[in-house]
Amino acid sequence: MSDYSEKIVEIERVAKGIRRRVLEHSIANNGGYMSQACSSAELLSSLYAGILNFAPVAKPIAPPPFFGVPEIGVHTYVTGQQFHGEPGPNFDRLISSPAHYALVIYSALIETARLREDGLDHFNKDGSTVELIGAEHSPGFETTTGSLAQALSQAGGIALGRKLKGEQGRTWVFMSDGEFQEGQTYEALQACVFHCLDKLRVIVDVNMGQCDGPMETVMGIEPLQDRIKAFGWEVSVVDGHDIKAILAASEKITDVPHMILCYTDPVRGLPLLAERAPVLHYLRFTSPDERAKYEAAYKELIK
Amino acid sequence: MSYEIVVRPHQQNFIDWSLDKPKVLVLSADLTNSCEVAKWRDTYPDRFFSMGMAEQNMLGFAAGLAREGFEPWLHTFSVFLYRRPLDQLQMSVAYPSLKVRLVGFLPGIMTPGGVTHQAIEDIAIMRAIPNMTILEVGDATEAQSVLDVAHSIDGPVYIRQLRGEVSRIFPADEPFIFNKARILSIGTDITLITSGVMTEEALRVVPLLQEHGVTISHLHISTLKPFTDPAIIAALSTAKHGVITMENHTIVGGLGSAVAEIMAERGMGVPLQRIGLKDTYAHGASQKFLMSEYEMDAAALVRAVETALGRKLNILETEIHAQRAVDVHSSAKAEAL
């Protein structure tokens, strides 16, 4: 295993910044997708600060105001892909599937100097592209994936197109575990193997929670690894907070698509959140007392 | 009146057309032969992608390929392009306005495959989708020349395509022109607007109606969205006794509704009669049987004209030009569907 020590220091910094920014934002706005930040902070920071081969951006980009929806024959449309740098045959791409992680993704972009520091000031504000559920005009999104489980098929098409063009860069998909309840995911799994998309990579935040609560009470998906392997994928299972393990898995070269299942803890870094278990999907304070507790936790976090 | 019958109009034409268009790909969902692209697959194996019976995923793959600069042409039965994968069609393809070509076969009641195979509300649904262009072919000439039209649209296109044994009604050198109605006759008593195979059906009796002294402006529509051809507005504004639409589709949301919208918006005060499926599902039977059962045939048109005029024309069923019998078991199709 390579020595990742230098990379890991940076990734840990980004992960900490993600949690801090999302908590700060949730306190200020009486709500936010906090557990998603806690579960995916190491996963997304590993992607943005360690794994993805993106072209650099000259300086952090200011989020544009909403500039209209895509229309027939309009070619001025710019997707949130611009925050990932100029695409090229050897660069990686990242398609984020659970658009509900938008706040977390925006935070990762700020921490990696791709989105301007004040980007979150525009979050969920009228006329902004920094939307609550990211669409393809939102920073870090190049497709529209708020209707869950569509990204893997879209990315499969992108990976197939890149393969036809002989491009060497990888196409990454960030997914959430709830999407393994949707039938389309399994259609996509079989198609990606059938069409030999060896440069397709999927990384999943398996935080075992969804809108209604713990997944095992909503619709079980285990044994997830066995299911995906049965479709012909290469699968790695890692502790989603173990940066070294995520980095090692990301380097695997395979002749079939590869999926990294990151098992995560939805309250990691913010144990206070466990008091709200089992429903962790969205943090909205129920009393001034609760809010005060989170403010105290925030002070602890920024020490 | 009899027309040249073109067998499998799409099959070789699409192969020839694709020769110098390397970005054109075909995605198919296990109906390759039924959609006349098996030979295309064998001619261009590197550009053909079998997606299996998994349409939701196929729409997503098409979106990704289009984003990478390719032009995927999806071939399957119409119902499987918009019913099961409607969310994928909207969010993966239509919202980003990608150049994906949805070639849908078996429009309306043209199949004994029954309710599961009959796309009777596809136009209504597609019309409600922003960025979508809707084309419907009415004969072999259009089935062949629709390719250039779809290819030129910088956004998603849905084609109601014909296959098997198809009449050539319009001369081969008069191709499908985008957003331009074909004016088949001019008159001021009735304005008749037809689309798809209903044009051929209407033409069984329009000359007879004219012989009975009824003057008819007859327009054939092949672009259903956009629906902004000034010729349509002009023809509607001259109708003295009424407007009649004929569509191989439910009367809700399709051609009849599009015409109604124009008439209402412009305050055109003549009655409109819409011939089509009257807000009902159909069942598995031959096209001829279903057109008669659901009052979508030439005889139904005669009755509609009589209603508009307020008098009987005394046209006998036997006088109406015989309907072309389409053999359900024709060897021009891969299966009896």
Give me the pLDDT at residue B66, please: 98
Give me the pLDDT at residue B329, please: 76
How far apart (Å, rounded) are the C-alpha atoms in residues B321 and B323? 6
**Structural domain A5-62+80-301, CATH architecture:** 3-Layer(aba) Sandwich (3.40)
Interface residue B44 vs chain A (CB under 8 A) = no
CB distance B153–A72 less than 8 Å? Answer: yes
Q: Is the peptide bond before A223 cis (omega within 30 degrees of 0)?
A: yes
Phi/psi of residue B214, nearest 5 degrees: -90, 125
CB B214 within 8 A of CB B264: no
Q: Which residues of B touch A164 (CB under 8 A)?
A: 68, 70
How far apart (Å, rounded) are the C-alpha atoms in residues A138 and A69? 12
Q: Name residues of chain B where pLDDT drops below 50.
A: none
Give me the pLDDT at residue B325, please: 65
Query: Of A91, A89, A99, A103, which is closest to residue A18 (Cα–Cα)?
Result: A103
Name which of B50, B62, B96 is nearest A136 (Cβ-Cβ). B96
Interface residue A160 vs chain B (CB under 8 A) = yes
Strand partners, B136: B160
B182-319 shares the fold of B7-168: yes
**Closest Cα in chain A to B133:** A72
Residues 6+ apart with CB under 8 A from A148: A97, A98, A99, A176, A178, A179, A182
Quickly state the pLDDT bin for A31 (edges 50, 70, 90).
confident
- For range A257-282, the mean pLDDT: 94
Interface predicted TM-score of the whole assembly (ipTM), two decimals: 0.96
- Taking the whole predicted model, whether its pTM rises above 0.80 is answered as yes
How far apart (Å, rounded) are the C-alpha atoms in residues A154 and A143? 8
Calculate the CA A29 to chain-centre distance.
Answer: 22
Domain chopping of chain A, boundaries? 5-62+80-301
Interface residue A88 vs chain B (CB under 8 A) = no
Query: SS3 sequence, chain A?
Result: CCCCHHHHHHHHHHHHHHHHHHHHHHHHHCCECHHHHHHHHHHHHHHHHHHCCCCCCCCCECCCECCCCCCCCCCCCCCHHHHHCCCCCCCCEEEECCHHHHHHHHHHHHHCCCECHHHHHHCCCCCECCCCCCCCCCCCCCCCCCCCCCHHHHHHHHHHHHHHCCCCCCEEEEEEHHHHHCHHHHHHHHHHHHCCCCCEEEEEEECCEECCEEHHHHCCCCCHHHHHHHCCCEEEEEECCCHHHHHHHHCCCCCCCEEEEEECCCCCCCHHHHHHCCCCCCECCCCHHHHHHHHHHHHHHCC
Q: Which residues of A touch B95 (CB under 8 A)?
A: 69-70, 136, 144
Q: Which residues of A touch B97 (CB under 8 A)?
A: 70-72, 74
Q: Which residues of B touch A165 (CB under 8 A)?
A: 68-69
Sign of CA dihedral B277, B282, B288, B294: negative
**With 70 as the cut, is the pLDDT of residue A290 above it?**
yes
Q: Which residues of A touch B71 (CB under 8 A)?
A: none
CB B201 within 8 A of CB B246: yes
Which pairs count as long-range contacts for A56-62, CB under 8 Å and 24+ apart, including other chains? A56/A85, A57/A82, A57/A83, A57/A85, A57/A113, A57/A114, A59/A113, A60/A110, A60/A113, A60/A114, A60/A115, A60/A116, A60/A117, A60/A119, A61/A114, A61/A115, A61/A116, A61/A139, A62/A116, A62/A118, A62/A119
Sign of CA dihedral B163, B168, B174, B180: negative
Q: Are strands B216-221 and B182-185 parallel, antiparallel or unpaired?
A: antiparallel
Domain chopping of chain B, boundaries? 7-168, 182-319
CB B115 within 8 A of CB B97: no
Q: Which residues of B touch A189 (CB under 8 A)?
A: none
Q: Is A142 exposed, middle or buried (0-12, 13-18, 19+ CB in 10 A)?
A: buried
A window 51-80, beta carbon within 8 A of B: 69-74
Interface residue B158 vs chain A (CB under 8 A) = no
CB distance A160–B133 less than 8 Å? Answer: no
Give me the pLDDT at residue B79, please: 98
Give me the pLDDT at residue A3, please: 72
Calculate the CA B228 to chain-centre distance.
Answer: 17
Q: What is the pLDDT of residues B97-149, one digit of tens each?
A: 999 999 999 999 999 999 999 999 999 999 999 999 999 999 999 999 999 99
Give me the pLDDT at residue A177, please: 98
Amino acid of residue B195: S
Q: Which residues of B touch A78 (CB under 8 A)?
A: none
A to B CB pairs, distance under 8 Å: 111
**Structural domain B182-319, CATH architecture:** 3-Layer(aba) Sandwich (3.40)
Q: What is the pLDDT of residues A59-110, one digit of tens each?
A: 999 999 999 999 998 878 899 999 999 999 999 999 999 999 999 999 999 9
- Statement: B7-168 belongs to CATH 3.40.50.970: yes
Instruction: Pick from B24, B26, B56, B61 the residue to mutate for testing the A interface (most A CBs within 10 Å).
Output: B61
Amino acid of residue B268: M
Quickly state the pLDDT bin for A216 (edges 50, 70, 90).
very high
Give me the pLDDT at residue A35, please: 95
Give me the pLDDT at residue B321, please: 82
Name which of A71, A156, A165 is nearest B64 (Cβ-Cβ). A156
Q: Are strands B71-77 and B216-221 parallel, antiparallel or unpaired?
A: unpaired
**With 80 as the cut, is the pLDDT of residue A119 above it?**
yes
CB distance B88–A146 less than 8 Å? Answer: no
Give me the pLDDT at residue B332, please: 81
Q: Give the CA count within 13 Å in the CB-facing half-sphere of A71.
A: 5
